[in-house]
A and B are shown apart, each in its own frame.
Chain A
Amino acid sequence: DVKVTQSSRYLVKRTGEKVFLECVQDMDHENMFWYRQDPGLGLRLIYFSYDVKMKEKGDIPEGYSVSREKKERFSLILESASTNQTSMYLCASSVQSSGANVLTFGAGSRLTVL
């Protein structure tokens, strides 16, 4: 059974803290993505990666960075957390093809910044 695993389901952090959200997939997928999901705004793409050490900005990269040192792992980093980064964060992965390459999502990490 294919799986995307996010290390933390719930996190509570303080303003200014550095936050790491980890995502691991066991499907040998080339593409990995980080989205955040907020009521009324839907899922918005933060960053994605199509290969090890490669990354591209999504639609809302400000305040975030990412790391992909290994194919199976894609980390989202909040250098200095702020209250407006309180959200549900969803990691996803997909194969690299021009067909219907479906996203497989992790269960999500709900981050609260106080």
Chain B
Amino acid sequence: GQNIDQPTEMTATEGAIVQINCTYQTSGFNGLFWYQQHAGEAPTFLSYNVLDGLEEKGRFSSFLSRSKGYSYLLLKELQMKDSASYLCAVRRDGGATNKLIFGTGTLLAVQP
């Protein structure tokens, strides 16, 4: 089977840094994705890791350790608009169909 765990809720202050963790157990791992979802809207793609290490994209970075089954999403210089749910998703079995298994999401509240 597969299991993806991430915190349910987090709170952070505008301008600060926040790290959202995700741990997973799955067979046939072939990549980890982070999506952002604002309330009432569709999820949108943030980042993708398939090899160990850090991927940086502006204020957002994502880290992966395949041996530990662990990833985090790092958000720097937080803005109010970063208040959203952050979804960790694991791709399994590789290949073309990109079938993703999602965690339950972390609801981030950014406070002034």
* Closest partner residue, chain A, to B46 (CB atom): A102
**Given known A-B contacts A31-B97, A96-B97, A100-B31, A107 and B41 have beta carbons under 8 A apart:** yes
A35 CA to B100 CA, complexed, in Å? 10
- Determine whether the beta carbon of A100 is less than 8 Å from that of B48: yes
Partner of B102, one of A42, A56, A108: A42
Is residue A25 within 8 Å, beta carbon to beta carbon, of the partner chain? no
* Closest partner residue, chain B, to A58 (CB atom): B99
Contacts of B94 in A (CB 8 A): 98
**Given known A-B contacts A102-B45, A105-B44, A45 and B50 have beta carbons under 8 A apart:** no
A40 CA to B99 CA, complexed, in Å? 21
Contacts of A97 in B (CB 8 A): 96
Contacts of B44 in A (CB 8 A): 105
Q: List 5 A-B contacts (CB under 8 A).
A: A42-B102, A59-B101, A102-B45, A103-B98, A104-B45
**Given known A-B contacts A96-B97, A98-B96, A100-B31, A105 and B43 have beta carbons under 8 A apart:** yes
Q: How many residues of A contact B (CB 8 A)?
A: 30
A48 CA to B35 CA, complexed, in Å? 19
Partner of B99, one of A48, A90, A98: A48
Is residue B95 within 8 Å, beta carbon to beta carbon, of the partner chain? yes
A33 CA to B100 CA, complexed, in Å? 10
A61 CA to B36 CA, complexed, in Å? 25
- Determine whether the beta carbon of B104 is less than 8 Å from that of A40: yes
Least distance between A89 CB and chain B CB atoms (Å):
12
Residue interface bits A70-110, CB-to-B below 8 A is 1, else 0: 00000000000000000000100010111011111111100
